[in-house]
A = this chain, B = another copy of it.
Amino acid sequence: MPTRTGRPPKISRAEIVTAADRVIEQDGVAGLTMRRLAKEVGSTAMAIYHHVRDKDELLLLLLDSYAATLPKPELPREPRERLVAAAVAMHEALSARPWAVEVLRADDLLSVGALWYPEHIVDAAMRAGLSPEEAVDAYRIVWHYTAGEISARVAAGKRREEGGTTYRERVFADLDPAAFPRLSEVGERWAELTARDTYAKGVRALAQGLLP
Q: Report A's interface with B, CB cutoff 8 A.
A: 60, 105-109, 111-112, 115, 118-120, 122-123, 126, 132-133, 135-137, 140-141, 143-149, 151-152, 155-156, 158-159, 166-168, 171, 175, 179-183, 185-186, 189-190, 193-194, 196, 198, 201-202, 204-210
Q: Which of A122, A137, A167 is the most central at the interface, judged by chain B CB atoms within 10 Å of its CB?
A: A167
Q: Which 3 A-B pairs have the closest CB atoms?
A: A148-B148, A205-B209, A144-B148
Q: Which of B119, B141, B186, B208 meets A136, CB within 8 Å? A: B186
Docked CA distance A153–B109 (Å): 13
Docked CA distance A198–B121 (Å): 17
Copies in the complex: 2
Q: Which of B135, B166, B208 meets A208, CB within 8 Å? A: B208
On chain B, the residues within 8 Å of A206 by CB distance are 202, 205-206, 209
Of all chain B residues, which has the CB nearest A147?
A: B148
11 contacts between A and B (CB under 8 A): A107-B166, A107-B167, A119-B179, A119-B181, A119-B183, A122-B182, A126-B182, A132-B185, A141-B201, A145-B148, A204-B209
Asked if B155 contacts A202 (CB within 8 A), the reply is no
Docked CA distance A194–B133 (Å): 9
On chain B, the residues within 8 Å of A120 by CB distance are 182
On chain B, the residues within 8 Å of A107 by CB distance are 155, 159, 166-168
Docked CA distance A106–B169 (Å): 12
Q: Which of A111, A144, A183 is the most central at the interface, judged by chain B CB atoms within 10 Å of its CB?
A: A144
Asked if B201 contacts A137 (CB within 8 A), the reply is yes
Of all chain B residues, which has the CB nearest A171?
A: B112
